[in-house]
Amino acid sequence: MEKKPLIYFLCTGNSCRSQIADGFLNALGSDKYEVKSAGLEAHGLNPRAVQVMQEAGVDISKNTSDVIDPDILNRADYVITLCGHADEHCPVISNKNVTKWHWGFDDPAKATGTEEEIMNQFRTVRDSIKNRIEQFVKEGK
């Protein structure tokens, strides 16, 4: 069986955006890709991210918030940062064959306002990430 390309989503805390991307790519492309996510730090899985993904029919409740693993980083085929902080502070990747991309999305965890306004920001980011993942799967990149 052919080895699936490893996609490694990175964010600051591996609590929202990278978890959402991980969930959608696993749901939409796990037959084509091995999917992992991590953060510069581990902030724990954000319950609002879990909730908006459940609304979209994807269960990420069993995901864990992990710190970047150098071994996974250096065997990844694609390293995709989802926030500027992770893009700027990503550890050095020794694998010269890796494709590194930055897909910037606002941090929904920083949203303010009523609970409904905050949840709407999570939904907006979720939908933007889903659209980007669908494009990735369709185009193979």
pLDDT digits (tens, 9 = 90+) for 41-87: 888 999 999 999 999 999 999 999 999 999 999 899 999 999 877 76
* Residues in contact with 95: Cβ distance below 8 Å, sequence separation at least 6, in sequence order: 73, 74, 75, 76
Catalytic position from the list 6, 90, 93, 111: 90
pLDDT of residue 131: 96
List the structure tokens of 128. 């933007």
- The mean pLDDT of 11-28, rounded to a whole number, is 94
Is residue 94 very low, low, confident or very high in pLDDT (cuts 50, 70, 90)?
confident
| Angle at alpha carbon of residue 102, lines to 109 and 118, rounded to 5° | 15
Q: State pTM to two decimals.
A: 0.92
27: number of Cβ within 10 Å = 18
Please count the residues of the chain: 141
* DSSP label at residue 67: B
Quick one: pLDDT at residue 83?
81
Closest alpha carbon to 45 in 81, 6, 17, 68: 17
Q: Is the pLDDT of residue 141 over 70?
A: no
Q: What does the pLDDT read at residue 92? A: 65
Of these residues, 21, 83, 86, 129, which one is catalytic? 83
16 counts as catalytic: no
Across the chain, the runs of DSSP E, i.e. the strands, are: 6-11, 34-39, 78-81, 99-102
Cα gap 3→19, rounded to integer Å = 23
> Which residue of the set 7, 10, 11, 16 is catalytic?
11
What average pLDDT is seen over the chain? 91
Tokens of 61: 């409740």
Residue 83 designated active-site: yes
| pLDDT on residue 57 | 97
